[in-house]
Amino acid sequence: MKFTITMKDPDGAYESIEEFINAMKIDGIEDDDEAEAIRELRGNKIRELCLRWFEYGEYLRVEVDTDAETCTVIPVRR
């Protein structure tokens, strides 16, 4: 049997992504402004990637299959 769960957390995904981006180490760059610019570029790519699974940045849908004992994230349809 399969069923879908929709979870809403307006701050969880955003805060976790921002925390990850801010913690990124930028090797070989001494200048703080340059490192921040690189972090922002990489962060934009990460945010865009996460939109595959988080609708409006806060809704996550998963499908639970009780027969296979799995839980799968359902990609956002665009």
Residue 64 belongs to what domain range? 2-73
Kindly list the distances between the CA atom of residue 63 and the CA atoms of 5, 16, 22, 46, in Å, as whole numbers in the listed order: 6, 22, 31, 23
Domain count, the chain: 1
Instruction: Tell me the average confidence (pLDDT) per consecutive run of 10 residues in the chain, 78 residues long.
Output: 95 93 90 93 95 93 98 92
- Judge whether 21 lies within some domain: yes
- Judge whether 28 lies within some domain: yes
- Judge whether 78 lies within some domain: no
Question: pTM for this one?
Answer: 0.80
Res 61: pLDDT: 97
Res 78: pLDDT: 73
